[in-house]
Structure 1
Amino acid sequence: MERLQHNDMALLAGAALFVLILLLWVNRRERLHYEKVALFTPAEKKFLHVLEQALGKEFRVYGKVRIADTILPKRTLSRKKWNRHFFQISSKHFDYVLCDRTSMDPICVIELNDRSHQKKERIKRDQLVEKACRSAKLPLIWIAVQKEYDKRALHHQIKKEITLQTAA
């Protein structure tokens, strides 16, 4: 009788080990493989700090905002056209969005231009973004990457562009 219990225990332990190995093997195949990356490039991070200092508490500044979270195709479009327009912007983002501190409505967007904006594909993307912003009456400000930024000049440039583009 004791021998039978020992065999049953060995069989049970073997089955448990088999199930554990099987679960580990299946889980290994389904494991996701992601890694954390920096949200901003060094140039974007530097500009963000300068931008926040230049604007003070006048606006809220958000970075890497998906364009489709800021503007959408007009609801009056046919479903097919709406989907086509939405697809064009859905996987793109703005570098920075300035929002009203109270209403949180977007006031303008800023694109920081580095050498990548000279590539053919990027020029095409930038033209689409510019047309989409113009259509939505959302001021778009292009700022070239610089080694140093003049905070006062940056503040003045942004305020001037918002005023000019909103009036147009």
Structure 2
Amino acid sequence: MNFLDHINSNMIILLAFFGLLVVLKAIFGKRKKKISGKFVPIPFLNSRAEQNFFTQLKNKLPDHIYVVPKVRLADLCKPENPKNIVAFNKVARKHIDFVLIEQSSSKIIAAIELDDKSHQKRDNIRRDKDKNYALSSAGIKLYRVKAARSYGKVIDSIFGELLAVSSAPKKVNKSDSSQIKYPSYCPRCESDKFHKIDMRWPNKGKFYFHCKACSYQSDSSA
């Protein structure tokens, strides 16, 4: 065997070796790694502040409404384009503090975020903007509630607005109009300067709520 034949023989062996490595990597490289490491339990689902709000909210729930804590944002809305992976990752990695649903059907009514001091951080501000955009784009009502000790007024205002809007399409006799409870406090700032505004033509018959204190404006009735 001359020198060139020896080199060619070694090249064939090397190429065969690298080819074998490629095949082995294709076979075994795709195997998913098994979950490992030790896990420890998280004692409580809600923080103390969240549990305080949850308790007060639950005590005021109408009979047909149920509240669910810690819901993944991707379970509430999704990108219109299924191939938009960037948008999906934006909602898949976030959660909403509380979601109001109909007990009988689990239909989503509204979402509630409890905003404490942590929401003032730059990263959390960006996350909140993503949540606001996603839910608004999907047509899901979002209430942001400032963390406090007592939430009686703001909870009454939230349910007052939801019940008023859901009752809007139904024809109500003048004698029965007093039975509809409209919100009296702003869900954003809890001000009592929160008023029902009747819309004019061509939207006559519709209405919305406006706060003179913080300029918050609700969605118009259907």
TM-score under structure 2 length normalisation: 0.56
| Structure 2 equivalent of residue 94 of structure 1 | 96
Q: Distance in 1 between matches of 2:114 and 2:147?
A: 6
The structure showing larger relative contact order (alpha-carbon pairs under 8 Å, at least 6 residues apart) is 1
| Structure 2 equivalent of residue 6 of structure 1 | none
Equivalent residues of 1:55, 1:155 under 8 A apart: no
Equivalent residues of 2:64, 2:104 under 8 A apart: no
Structure 1 residues 56, 78: closer, same or farther in 2, change over 3 A?
A: closer
**Structure with greater helix percent:** 1
| Structure 2 equivalent of residue 50 of structure 1 | 56
| Structure 1 equivalent of residue 158 of structure 2 | 157
Equivalent residues of 2:99, 2:112 under 8 A apart: yes
Q: Distance in 2 between matches of 1:106 and 1:42?
A: 25
* Structure 2 gaps, min length 5: 1-34, 166-217
- Residue 219 of structure 2: SS of its match in structure 1? helix
Structure 1 residues 167, 124: closer, same or farther in 2, change over 3 A?
A: farther
Structure 1 residues 78, 153: closer, same or farther in 2, change over 3 A?
A: closer
Provide the aligned length of Structure 1 versus Structure 2: 134
| Structure 2 equivalent of residue 132 of structure 1 | 134
Q: Distance in 1 between matches of 2:136 and 2:162?
A: 13
The worse-fitting range, judged by mean Cα deviation, of 60-69 and 152-161 is 152-161
Q: Match for 2:85 among 69, 83, 86?
A: 83
| Structure 1 equivalent of residue 209 of structure 2 | none
Q: Distance in 1 between matches of 2:71 and 2:147?
A: 19
Give the aligned CA root-mean-square deviation in angstroms. Answer: 2.1
Alpha-carbon deviations, 1:99-138, whole Å to 9, x = none?
0111101100000000001011111110110011110000
Q: Distance in 1 between matches of 2:62 and 2:159?
A: 13
1:157 alignment partner AA: I
* Structure 1 gaps, min length 5: 1-29
Structure with larger Rg: 2
Displacement of 1:97 in angstroms is: 0.5
Alpha-carbon deviations, 1:117-164, whole Å to 9, x = none?
1011111110110011110000000001111221x5412234426833
Q: Distance in 1 between matches of 2:59 and 2:122?
A: 33
